[in-house]
Structure 1
């Protein structure tokens, strides 16, 4: 069973490979959030402007890509919480973060 490389492994990627990975993640995030059906790996590659082999090089299975998108979103929500808390009083930061979380949750299709 193929697994997603650790975050430390992503830091070791060449600059162009890291850029491609981030581009694929962003395209997959948009595709999963906006598509009425499950977008194909080929469609995600096309939206990212890379070849399908590039997608599979970084994410050997669809499940690995879905997992990476989810992990990326959780990391962004966590970072967003820290940033909000650094810039707003705790009660306001919590409320703003809850709005972000609600927006994130609204993009999920089951």
Structure 2
């Protein structure tokens, strides 16, 4: 019984420290490709990073569900898109290609990543 308790605590701690998107651990997202979208933040050198893996999102939401969250449920802040790319690489994704959009109000960078098998 004691071994079972220790094993369950170890298993629980593995899930408790996972980064998530829409409450799904990043390593458990069951898709081949994801897109990370980086947009600049006003008066900051850091970027907002969102992840799109084809998940359903609510059209009207006050809470952004596509941000990557840490184990405490807070949005992870990245210093640059390269920081986000290194983070995703450490979580099992490989870079495929990138593109940008640039209009009068918004500039976004898109990275397409493939999950390593």
The verdict on a shared fold, with TM-score over 0.5 as the criterion, is no
Q: Going by fraction, where is helix more abundant, 1 or 2?
A: 1
Q: Indicate the structure whose relative CO is greater, using CA pairs within 8 Å and at least 6 residues apart.
A: 2
Q: Going by fraction, where is strand more abundant, 1 or 2?
A: 2
Per the normalisation by structure 1, the TM-score is 0.29
